[in-house]
Structure 1
Amino acid sequence: MIVSLDMGDTLIAFTPRKYEKIYEILKDNGYIFSLKKVYKAYIRTMAKHYFPDSNGVNPFDLRDFFYELGINPSNEKLVKEIKKIDRGEEYWVYDEVIDFLEKLKSKGHKLVLVSNATPRGKEVFYKLGLNKYFDFTIFSFEVGLVKPNPKIFSLVIRNFGKPRFHIGDIYEMDIKGARDAGIEGILLNRFNFYEFGVKNLKEIKFLEE
């Protein structure tokens, strides 16, 4: 069986996350929203795009984001603060990941990575040694496509084979993109931003059988 997986917040945590920083900036400027609401607006904004920006990932349009939250986009102070946000510098592999990947490999499953990632994301993936578990990898910055564009999954199908499942943490990108390509999606809901999904990879026991 072929199984495809996402990278960020599925296998690897990159912190601080941009939407978490935006949440703090909004709060400091008197805009009180739940972290879940900020996350949802952030994801909806990026999931509108099927092709990457110059960094190789989904473009983030602040005007669209503000519209999602009902904020006036003419707030220049807020715009400047959000645009200054740097990428998260800390990263680590989630606790259950290695054991999960090793069990899948021991069952003879073929693993594919499908990631909306910058060159740095790829560098971290290799630095942490996760590449040894994967038979095929696709990074958005290399192929000019981003999830939820089903064409990024079509590249996997055409060049390696069709995954039976795709596992990822963002419904609007991972699950929608996979389903549009005819692949069943498994939502990893680590932070309870969705009303369904598994809480961690250990809950996907049927793949280990």
Structure 2
Amino acid sequence: MPVISVDLGDTLVAFTPRRYELIYEILKDHGYTFSLRKVYRAYVKVMAKHNFPDENGVNPFDVRDFLYELGIKPTDEKLIMEINGIKRGDEYFLLEDAEDFLEWAKSKGYKIVLVSNATPRAKKVVEELGLNKYFTQTIFSFEVGLVKPNPKIFSIVTSRVGIPIYHVGDIMEMDYAGAERSGLRGVLLNRFGFYDFGVKSLKDLTKD
């Protein structure tokens, strides 16, 4: 059976409020006028520099490095403390195109593997939203000690299930780049227009 791998956050499930959106609001409160796209790209660029997870099981995030990427001198301790104090979003919901995509993939006979940079909470989310029934394997960063864009996390997919036809995810610097570095085809889900290429919806992948 053919294999595809898929990301979780903002690919299948939305976790809100999004951390980068809260950072964007804090920066506005401090008088900075960066676009949300610029904040997002700096945010993911900093995290994508890491191939191994922090103590929570996800990509480390260095606020000073993030501010440097935006051209801000990382000397404002109040700003740094505010950003460091942001908590991860408590609310989550299944995105509207997710279940149709998973049902389509299942009907086509694909083995579906979830590959997610995630804390242990993600297992509960997947279970509560009834997604386990779609996945042949779930590979979480907190369990395997690797985070995308490390290509080794995709080697786990290959060794356990088979070589995926493609990996689909919403972060170019992690999902797309990680898949491509591992020799797989990356498919970028560009939901919010933060990139200049990619599909806009999972529905675009179900068209014959």
**Separation of aligned partners in 2, 1:145 and 1:70:** 29
Which ranges in structure 1 are unaligned for 5 or more consecutive residues? none
Q: CA deviation at 1:97?
A: 1.0
Which ranges in structure 2 are unaligned for 5 or more consecutive residues? none
**Separation of aligned partners in 2, 1:121 and 1:35:** 26
**Separation of aligned partners in 2, 1:65 and 1:122:** 29
**Separation of aligned partners in 2, 1:107 and 1:48:** 36
In structure 2, the residue matched to 1:202 is 203
In structure 1, the residue matched to 2:174 is 173
Give the 5 Å matches for 1:54-65. Answer: 54-65=55-66
**Separation of aligned partners in 1, 2:78 and 2:122:** 30
* 3-state SS of paired residue (2:194): coil
In structure 1, the residue matched to 2:35 is 34
**Separation of aligned partners in 1, 2:142 and 2:195:** 27
> How many aligned residue pairs are there?
207
Q: CA deviation at 1:72?
A: 1.4
* 3-state SS of paired residue (2:25): helix
Q: CA deviation at 1:106?
A: 0.9
In structure 2, the residue matched to 1:81 is 82
**Separation of aligned partners in 1, 2:175 and 2:144:** 17
> Are the aligned partners of 2:3 and 2:161 in contact in 1 as well (CA < 8 Å)?
no
Q: CA deviation at 1:205?
A: 2.6
**Separation of aligned partners in 2, 1:99 and 1:70:** 41
In structure 1, the residue matched to 2:138 is 137
Give the 5 Å matches for 1:10-25. Answer: 10-25=11-26
> Are the aligned partners of 2:101 and 2:206 in contact in 1 as well (CA < 8 Å)?
no
Q: Tell me which stretches of 4 or more aligned residues in structure 1 moved more than 6 Å.
A: none
What's the TM-score, normalizing by structure 1? 0.97
**Separation of aligned partners in 2, 1:148 and 1:126:** 25
Q: CA deviation at 1:122?
A: 1.9
**Separation of aligned partners in 2, 1:103 and 1:152:** 25
Give the 5 Å matches for 1:145-164. Answer: 145-164=146-165
Spell out, residue by residue over 1:78-128, the C-alpha distance to the aligned partner (whole angstroms, 9 max, x if none).
Answer: 011111101101110011111111111011111000000000122111111
* 3-state SS of paired residue (1:54): coil
In structure 2, the residue matched to 1:72 is 73
Spell out, residue by residue over 1:47-77, the C-alpha distance to the aligned partner (whole angstroms, 9 max, x if none).
Answer: 0000000000000011110110011111011
What letter matches 1:127 in structure 2? E
